[in-house]
Structure 1
Amino acid sequence: MKSIANKRKAARTAKTNNINNGATGWLFAAPWIIGLFLFYILPLVVSIFFSFTSYSILQPGEFIGFQNYKELINDELFFKSIYNTVYFAVIFVPLSIIFGVALAMLLNIKIKGMTIYRTIFFLPTLVPHVAIAVLWMWMLNPGFGLVNGFLDMIGIKGPAWLGSEEWSKPSLIFMSLWGIGQAIVIYLAGLGDISDEYYEAAEVDGANWFQKTFHITLPLLTPVIFFNLVMGVIGAFQQFTLPYTLTQGQGKPANSLTFYVMYLYDNGFKYFKMGYASAMAWILFVVIMILTILIFWSSKRWVHYQGK
């Protein structure tokens, strides 16, 4: 009888301890859960409602159904911002992957002082976007900038860069490529994870550098490329700080640097058309979700994992 009573007492004690441990865990997680609800879930739900209203921050607004979405269809600047954003994403994302992988492979070579070179390539990512904008505005100045000065030295007349509607977006892409150090570090980690046994077996079979690169390195690096592709697409469609700083929020010249998120920000906080901005935000959300799903779907065909 005593043994049965002791077992029941031990079970009750264990149950009490589990409840206390669970309560302690929820208590420690409570700040994060509250923050998730207040700053993510609640604004998400409210923005859905606002997208169907004429809410303008200063006034409560009225429910207008799909009117905001209908107005977007007739908004020329809305489509201009889409064009600018897609133009940037289509060119920048592939180039960032190509240059990122190439530089990572160069920085993966085992030579003396390689740590210093890696640090140099990573440093631009630590520079604030405002400082980057000021630096490149000076370097790309058509009159006294370093870039056009160098081009003049070799007999080439440089363009107006940021002052030209034709060259403004390529200039922004060039600036953004200057700050891909974070992606390079991720590629370096992926390269370090590839086993040397693959290369040793390839050398035994007489494979050269190109064969090892295209049949071993790149296929086994595809999981990292896949990650950077997803993050690059999301980041490209959310481009804001650098073009906004470069143009003081005006998107000049001729709105060639008015990106989608910039126009969304202007509608919400400059023109106080929060309902209109919420509709734009949800369109962006749907587009990014569709693109992300397509990338995940296509990954089955080209992403290769070690051991599979």
Structure 2
Amino acid sequence: MRWTRNMKMSTREAITGYLFFSPGLIGLLVFMAGPILYSFYLSFTTYNIYEPPQWVGFKNYEIMLTEDPLFYKSLYNTLYYVGLSVPVNTAMGILLAVLMNQKVRGIRLFRTIYFLPSILSGVAVALLWQWILDPNFGLINTFLANFGISGPGWLLDEAWSKPSLVLMNLWAVGGSMIIYLAGLQGIPQSLYEAATVDGAGPIRKFINITLPMLTPTIFFNVVMGVLSGFQVFLQAFIMTGGGPNNSTMFFAFYLYNKAFKDLQLGYASAMAWILLLITLLCTLIIFKTSSRWVYYEGGDNR
């Protein structure tokens, strides 16, 4: 009888839990799963909003892969951006976190100063950096001119346009810095004390203790950086318009142009699914290779 009462109580608790969870589940199905499935259907059609979708099968994918050179250009630009920005942001985030982990007076103020830029509006930041990187009267080139150095064309130079946006992306490195800082503060101090007894210096401690113990945090930030990198859009939309010579025409920006400028929503939907597959592939590669470099304390490193 007692067992029956416990079962009934557990059942009531389960039902209560599902009821609390149901609004989120319904919202997921209606506002996310529905549009996702509809976009998959649209990727096999031609659709311009004004007329009903017309089924064309794999034609959108065929045109994309065989007849659209800008598709490959935008994909290259995005891969270039991801391949450069993720390592740079990772290195800078770890460096700042190590500096902000020092026990000095006023360190909390410095942590706040470095973190605040990461919460500013993206449009405001883009406009600010558009002025900073202006080749004629921008802050950087004006500073370099004081030393007789002619600065690069930055956003107006095809060779410098993507590195300029990577440089701008460092503005928000404070977000990853905070996560690395949390990872650093979770490393047992006993490891450093034992290394000190063994005569290890700061560099050896960093290489043999800090980096291995920080690899789970690095893994998380790298995955998040790759996901956000493949969605880069705002910088090109506000600052360059995809130029010069389509050097900053990123995949998401090209998708936006196809959908809302050319009104080729079927083609844009096909591009979105290609982007999903590429992002998924890159993420799976990171996960598959993580066992070789991610160290979990007390685990089997799988």
The TM-score bracket by the shorter chain reads over 0.9
**1:71 matched to which residue of 2?**
63
Query: SS where residue 178 of structure 1 aligns?
Result: helix
Q: Is the 8 A contact 1:51 1:68 kept in 2?
A: yes
- CA–CA distance in 1 between the matches of 2:210 and 2:5? 56
Q: Which of 260, 284, 302 is residue 293 of structure 2 equivalent to?
A: 302
**2:32 matched to which residue of 1?**
40
The code of the aligned residue for 1:133 comes to A
Q: Does 1:202 align with 2:195?
A: yes
Q: Does 1:28 align with 2:17?
A: no
Query: SS where residue 149 of structure 2 aligns?
Result: coil
- CA–CA distance in 2 between the matches of 1:279 and 1:242? 23
**1:152 matched to which residue of 2?**
145
What's the CA shift for 1:12?
A: 6.0
Query: SS where residue 207 of structure 1 aligns?
Result: coil
1:132-169 Cα shifts (integer Å, max 9, x gaps): 01111111112211110110111210122112212111
Alignment of 1:112-123 (within 5 A): 112-123=105-116
Q: Is the 8 A contact 1:58 1:272 kept in 2?
A: no
**1:62 matched to which residue of 2?**
54
The code of the aligned residue for 2:214 comes to L
The code of the aligned residue for 2:113 comes to I
Q: Is the 8 A contact 1:93 1:233 kept in 2?
A: yes
Structure 2 unaligned runs (5+)?
none
Larger radius of gyration: 1
Query: SS where residue 15 of structure 2 aligns?
Result: helix
The code of the aligned residue for 1:235 comes to S
Q: Does 1:212 align with 2:196?
A: no
- CA–CA distance in 1 between the matches of 2:54 and 2:176? 45
Q: Is the 8 A contact 1:133 1:246 kept in 2?
A: yes
Q: Does 1:133 align with 2:126?
A: yes
Query: SS where residue 285 of structure 1 aligns?
Result: helix
- CA–CA distance in 2 between the matches of 1:27 and 1:227? 32
1:55-103 Cα shifts (integer Å, max 9, x gaps): 2222222211110011112111111111111111111111111111111
**2:261 matched to which residue of 1?**
270
Q: Which of 62, 78, 95 is residue 88 of structure 2 equivalent to?
A: 95
What's the CA shift for 1:307?
A: 2.4
- CA–CA distance in 2 between the matches of 1:221 and 1:19? 42
- CA–CA distance in 1 between the matches of 2:175 and 2:53? 43
- CA–CA distance in 2 between the matches of 1:51 and 1:257? 25
What's the CA shift for 1:193?
A: 0.4
Q: Does 1:259 align with 2:282?
A: no
Q: Is the 8 A contact 1:50 1:274 kept in 2?
A: yes
Query: SS where residue 210 of structure 1 aligns?
Result: helix
**1:282 matched to which residue of 2?**
273
TM-score (norm 2): 0.95
- CA–CA distance in 2 between the matches of 1:187 and 1:178? 16
Cα RMSD, aligned residues only: 1.4
TM-score (norm 1): 0.93
Q: Which of 216, 221, 230 is residue 237 of structure 1 equivalent to?
A: 230
The code of the aligned residue for 2:152 comes to P
Q: Does 1:143 align with 2:136?
A: yes
- CA–CA distance in 2 between the matches of 1:54 and 1:227? 38
Which deviates further from its counterpart, 138-147 or 86-95? 138-147
The code of the aligned residue for 1:224 comes to T
Alignment of 1:156-167 (within 5 A): 156-167=149-160
Which deviates further from its counterpart, 202-211 or 269-278? 269-278
Which deviates further from its counterpart, 265-274 or 293-302? 265-274
The code of the aligned residue for 1:279 comes to A
Structure 1 unaligned runs (5+)?
1-6
Which deviates further from its counterpart, 178-187 or 250-259? 250-259
Percent identical residues: 47
Q: Is the 8 A contact 1:101 1:184 kept in 2?
A: yes
